[in-house]
């Protein structure tokens, strides 16, 4: 019996449903919820009564230490923003690829990664080259084969949000370096579910949302910046990016000497507080253990669905497959109806690109998977 890794009582929703949708809006554990309530009750609601200027700056430092640990980088390279999309939208203007050059991306990737580049290319004489993911073909191979001297930037998710396909970032990085292209990696569907080694990857920028698998609430984004961008002016500098944000100098542009310069302004401090605690909980579980747990549950799911007509987007033994996101399809079953049928039985999954997306988190156990299997096996005949 595969037990959950974390205390299920910390997730009150699990008393009412089987939650297999962490890749969308993730459940938040009670320790993080308690921390957020305490901040709101003791600090946030009181304005500056219980929060000094130095306290406000310190909120960023606390989460930066924890986030740097889970993303495997030094804190000086980690920027805190209000969302992953905020940083992704700035990157075209930070990189400024030359007119006529191309941006390489995956056609089914998350739109926050591609849309800033589409807009930039349209206004600056560039173009997008999209790779289509088609299993059993290797997505990393397809990206590398599409690289040439005209490509200036590759922007891709480490784990594809709708399929769970994992890109081999070290191999892709080698190829981009040979081609002279910059590399942007979004780890929103990876960080908190599997180990992420940004230091070893040496990508130009790695971005991540502070919710979903990290267990936080919306309103925080993270970005690991290559050292070469730590002495550049952000495309959209803000007042909080100064060495001392509360040294208000409206006629000057002082910038912190590290990734703090990319933080724009006041943000959701209640979310910062919750994220700090949530990441601490994940680190205590160990990301290798979290990954192994999801892989075991994924294998249980896929093997028990053999012969039922439900097939995963990638075979469970495919080196590109992820255990924490299993994307299922069935030729004889309407996916939207299937998702509604599951929800009527209090099983919450996601639907993405015509497939059921099953998220397997540290709080899930074998009984969750068996309940899902039983309903899926009945659905095509019901």
Beta bridge partners of 78: 224
Q: What is the pLDDT along the chain (382 residues), one digit of tens a residue?
A: 789 999 999 999 999 999 999 999 999 999 999 999 999 999 999 999 999 999 999 999 999 999 999 999 999 999 999 999 999 999 999 999 999 999 999 999 999 999 999 999 999 999 999 999 999 999 999 999 999 999 999 999 999 999 999 999 999 999 999 999 999 999 999 999 999 999 999 999 999 999 999 999 999 999 999 999 999 999 999 999 999 999 999 999 999 999 999 999 999 999 999 999 999 999 999 999 999 999 999 999 999 999 999 999 999 999 999 999 999 999 988 889 999 999 999 999 999 888 999 999 999 999 999 999 999 998 875 5
Main-chain phi, psi angles of 26, to 5 degrees: -75, 150
Q: What Rg do the C-alpha atoms of the chain give, in angstroms?
A: 21
Query: Distance between CA 14 and CA 27 in Å, rounded?
Result: 9
How would CATH label the architecture of 8-20+286-381? Alpha-Beta Complex (3.90)
Q: Where are the domains of the chain?
A: 8-20+286-381, 37-282
CB atoms within 10 A of CB 232: 12
Name the nearest CA neighbour of 222 among 86, 52, 24.
86
Give this prediction's pTM. 0.95
Q: Show the beta-strand stretches assigned E in 4-65.
A: 18-19
DSSP, res 166: B
CATH topology of domain 37-282: 3.40.640
For residue 197, the SS3 value is coil
């Amino acid at each position: 019996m595969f037990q959950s890794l974390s205390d299920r009582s910390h997730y009150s929703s699990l008393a009412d449903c089987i939650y297999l949708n962490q890749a969308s809006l993730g459940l938040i554990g009670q320790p993080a919820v308690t921390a957020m309530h305490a901040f709101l009750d003791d600090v946030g609601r009181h304005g500056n009564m219980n929060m000094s200027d130095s306290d406000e700056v310190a909120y960023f430092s606390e989460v930066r230490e924890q986030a740097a640990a889970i993303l495997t980088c030094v804190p000086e390279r980690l920027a805190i923003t209000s969302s992953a999309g905020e940083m992704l939208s700035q990157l075209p203007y930070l990189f400024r690829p030359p007119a006529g050059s191309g941006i390489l991306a995956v056609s089914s990737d998350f739109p926050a990664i591609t849309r800033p580049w589409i807009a930039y290319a349209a206004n600056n004489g560039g173009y997008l080259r999209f790779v289509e993911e088609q299993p059993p073909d290797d997505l990393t191979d397809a990206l590398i084969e599409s690289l040439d001297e005209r490509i200036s930037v590759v922007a891709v998710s480490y784990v594809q949000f709708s399929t769970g396909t994992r890109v081999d970032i070290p191999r892709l990085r080698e190829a981009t370096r040979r081609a002279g292209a910059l590399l942007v990696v979004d780890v929103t569907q990876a960080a908190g579910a599997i180990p992420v080694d940004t230091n070893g990857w040496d990508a130009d920028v790695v971005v991540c949302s502070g919710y979903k698998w990290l267990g936080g609430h919306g309103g925080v984004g993270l970005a690991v910046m290559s050292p070469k961008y730590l002495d550049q002016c952000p495309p959209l500098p803000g007042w909080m990016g100064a060495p001392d944000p509360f040294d208000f100098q409206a006629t000057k542009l002082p910038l912190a000497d590290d990734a703090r310069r990319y933080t724009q302004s006041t943000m959701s401090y209640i979310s910062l507080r919750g994220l700090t605690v949530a990441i601490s909980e994940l680190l205590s579980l160990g990301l290798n253990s979290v990954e192994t747990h999801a892989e075991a549950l994924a294998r249980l799911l896929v093997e028990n669905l053999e012969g039922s007509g439900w097939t995963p987007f990638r075979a469970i033994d495919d080196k590109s497959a992820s255990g924490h996101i299993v994307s299922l399809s069935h030729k004889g079953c309407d996916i939207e109806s299937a998702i509604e049928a599951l929800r009527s039985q209090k099983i919450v999954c996601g639907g993405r690109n015509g497939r059921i997306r099953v998220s397997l988190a540290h709080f899930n156990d074998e009984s969750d998977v068996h309940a899902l299997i039983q309903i899926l096996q009945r659905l095509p005949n019901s």
